[in-house]
Amino acid sequence: MNDPALGTEALRERALATLVTARDRTTLLTGCVDDPDLTAQHSPLMSPLVWDLAHIGNQEEQWLLRAVAGQEALRPEIDSLYDAFEHPRAERPKLPLLPPAEARRYAAEVRARALDVLEHAVFDASRLTRSGFAFGMIAQHEQQHDETMLITHQLRKGPQALTAPDPRPAPPFTGPAEVLVPGGPFTMGTSTEPWALDNERPAHRREVPPFWIDTTPVTNAAYQAFIADGGYDDPRWWQPEGWDHIRRHSVRAPLFWHREGGQWLRRRFGVTEVVPPDEPVMHVCWYEADAYARWAGRRLPTEAEWEKAARHDPAGDRSTRYPWGDADPGPDHANLGQRHLRPAPAGSYPAGQSPLGVRQLIGDVWEWTASDFLPYPGFRAYPYREYSQVFFGPEYKVLRGGSFAVDPVACRGTFRNWDYPVRRQIFSGFRTARSQEAD
């Protein structure tokens, strides 16, 4: 959404489209398996799919029906069941959750009422309704849980339940391996993106020394070279906590990989296949990404470096919404929206590259950065502390750029994701960087 001055009807249409797109995806993710799969917990790291479904409805009720429209609660007795902070994921299967049919009815009733609220909404100066923020926030929330449910689908055992066409084949990338990003200040974050969330705000100037960054994300073939060179057996490349973690959990390769008959195979949404060498590596934790970078004589980019590479246009000395400019993402720009169920080959989407020629900064795989998840100068929590503020600190590392599983409404050059450095079930990869002084 790139025009904060959109008229009321255009805002209404945009909000409606994003809400419908999110619900269509939720329906796909929860309708392609039977009820036992919806109520099962496929990993202690994830909720049962039926919890996500009702949680989506409950958040929509709390913010669009109660906060925006001032309506009475439909099911106040279930609020605590679907409070993500009250019940850890591992405990949620034990709760008296709404069964699948009831969860669907509840989410559908909330949605019908929410669309009526939207039809009559006045986008006034209050922060919750200005530019349709509350509707955009709820669409982003649902899409974020859709990505979470897609992760659950990847973790579930059993036959394939989801299908999608593969990305277009791409010729081998023959461009430069790295790009020099000039030093100097740039504008990080945003104060103008209407649906940006609190941790993306406010815009502020950040000084970044010159650095080199990989033109594309690190590929499976490159990561296999790290494995073949004994990368998982050499403590020189690992942070002490990471070394302890991989030894304790016998980590020897990215999650879902295994060796068979002299080649690497992976399980992807119920199908076992040869690991494609030219795709960005995926399902690696921060410690693995950091170890690879050290082995390669490089490092992970800081969050500020990543954003400068993705948004800074040297010609105009300005920060754009995306690497390619300010236009909303299209199918030629990036691999987003679960249009495919895998990353595209490294070097794809030349139309989505930055002015300096860095590719695939948006979509395909979330990219680990070197940075802890911290607030920007002048940060203010909105509309609730639990979205960002409670997570700030060194326990979480920042990921940027989105993945093939991220919808465009929840992905932009300023969007920040975060997770524990041991997490591997997420659709995470990385690219490396080096300081110019290393030349």
pLDDT at 438: 54
The SS3 of residue 118 is helix
pLDDT at 439 over 60: no
Question: Sign of dihedral through CA atoms 292, 296, 297, 299?
Answer: negative
| 291 shares a domain with 143 | no
**Arithmetic mean of pLDDT, 180-198:** 97
The answer as to whether 32 is a domain residue is yes
**Is the pLDDT reported for residue 409 higher than 60?**
yes
Residue 164: pLDDT band by 50, 70, 90 thresholds? very high
Q: Residue 3 — very low, low, confident or very high, per pLDDT cuts 50/70/90?
A: low
Residue 2 lies in a domain: no
Q: How far apart are CA 136 and CA 148, in angstroms?
A: 18
User: Are residues 32 and 144 located together in one domain of the fold?
Assistant: yes
The set of residues, in sequence order, having a beta carbon less than 8 Å from that of 213 and lying 6+ positions away, is: 178, 179, 181, 301, 305, 306, 309, 358, 431, 432, 433
**What domain range is 284 assigned to?**
167-439
**Domain match, 330 and 354 both:** yes
Single residue among 155, 181, 210 that ends a domain in this structure: 155
Write the CATH number for 130: 1.20.120.450
What are residue 70's phi and psi, to 5 degrees? 70, 25
Q: Based on the fold, state whether residues 40 and 188 are members of the same structural domain.
A: no
| Domain count for the chain | 2
56-115 residue pLDDT tens = 999 999 999 999 999 999 999 999 999 999 999 999 999 999 999 999 999 999 999 999
Q: Does some domain include residue 248?
A: yes
pLDDT at 125: 82
Burial of 297 (0-12, 13-18, 19+ CB in 10 A): exposed
What are the structure tokens assigned to 190, written together?
A: 């945003």
Q: Do 426 and 310 have their domain in common?
A: yes
pTM, to two decimals? 0.96
Which of these three, 133, 155, 177, is where a domain ends?
A: 155
Beta carbons of 269 and 155 less than 8 angstroms apart: no
Q: At 251, list the tokens.
A: 């980590």
Residue at 121 is within a domain = yes
pLDDT tens by residue, 312-344: 999 888 999 999 999 999 999 999 999 999 999
Across the chain, mean pLDDT equals 96
pLDDT given for residue 316 in this prediction: 85
Mark whether 97 and 176 lie in a shared domain: no
Nearest to 416 by CA among 128, 181, 190, 213: 190
Question: Can you tell me the mean pLDDT for 226-244?
Answer: 98
Percentage of the chain exceeding pLDDT 90: 95
Asked whether residue 161 is assigned to any structural domain, the reply reads: no
Residues 182 and 150 placed together within one structural domain of the fold:
no
Prior bond to 96 cis, omega within 30?
Answer: no
- Integer Cα distance of 3 and 381 in angstroms: 23
Please count the other Cβ atoms lying within 10 Å of the Cβ belonging to residue 40: 15
Same domain, 215 and 322: yes
Q: Which tens digits make up the pLDDT trace of 254-275?
A: 999 999 999 999 999 999 999 9
